[in-house]
Amino acid sequence: MDIAGSRVVSVTGGDGDRWPERPAHATESGLSLFEYVIVLLSVVLSLGIARVLESHAHLLKRGADVRWSPTYILWLVIILACHVDLWASLWMVRTAASWSMGSLLVVLMGATSLFYAAVLSAPDLEPGRPIDLWAFHLENRRRYLGAVIAYLILGAVINMTLLAGHFDWATFGGALPSVGLALAAIFISNRRVQIVAPILLAILMVIYFASYFPTLQG
C-alpha cells in the first residue's frame, strides 16, 4: 500500500487560465510527499532533541549538586547525533514518488526509539538531592542504550531498503559495529569498557557524518 500516488494534477480556473501543475510526488494538499511524511517524523524527532537539551540544561542549573561524567555526556551527544542522522538521512529520499506503509512504520519506529533513548537517559531531578551521573549511567544504561541499539538496527534496515545504494558502508562499517559497542557497554560493567565503548562509537559517527553529510545539497 502506498501513501500517495505519483500522478500530476492541474487545475483550470473559470477564466481559462491554467494554474501551475503540482509535482508528480505532491499530495492532494499541495505538499510534496516528502514534506507530508517528514512533518510527522519531525514532531517525534523534535521532542527527542528537546528532551536531551532540556536534561542537560537542568543539570547545568543544579551546579555543584551534579557529579559530572564524561561517559554519560558522550552518550547524550551520541543520542543527539542519532536524531540528526535520521533527519539528514531522509533528505536522500526527498524526491520519492511513493512510500510503502512498511517503510513509513520502520522510519517512525526509528524516531520513536530515539525519543525513548532521550527520555530514559534523563535522570530524575529531586530538589536538594545530589546527582552522580556516573552512577546513574551504570544503573540505567541498559534502558537507554537498549533504545539506541533498537535505532541502530532499524537504521540498518532503513539503509538496506528505503535508502538502498546510499549508505552501504554506513550499514556494515558503522551501524553494525556500533551495535556491538553498545551491547558491550550494556553487558560488560568493567570501567574501561564503559569509557572506551562510547569513544569508539563516537569516532565511527564522526567518520560517518564526515563521509556522508559534509553538506546538504538540494
- The pLDDT tens digits for 118-174 are 999 999 888 778 999 999 999 999 999 999 999 999 999 988 888 877 777 778 888
Place 2 in a pLDDT band, splitting at 50, 70 and 90: very low
pLDDT of 137: 97
pLDDT of 17: 46
Q: pTM for the complete prediction? A: 0.82
Is pLDDT larger for residue 17 or for residue 169?
Answer: 169
Q: What is the mean pLDDT of the chain?
A: 84
- 30-34, 101-105, 124-128, range with greatest mean pLDDT: 101-105
Q: What is the DSSP string of the chain?
A: -BSS-------B-TTSPBPPPPPTTB-TTS-BHHHHHHHHHHHHHHHHHHHHHHHHHHHHHHGGGEE--HHHHHHHHHHHHHHHHHHHHGGGGTT-S--BHHHHHHHHHHHHHHHHHHHHTSPP--TT--EEHHHHHHHHHHHHHHHHHHHHHHHHHHHHTTTTTTSHHIIIIIIHHHHHHHHHHHH---HHHHHHHHHHHHHHHHHHHHHH-SS---
Q: What is the largest CA-CA distance in the chain?
A: 77
pLDDT of 35: 84
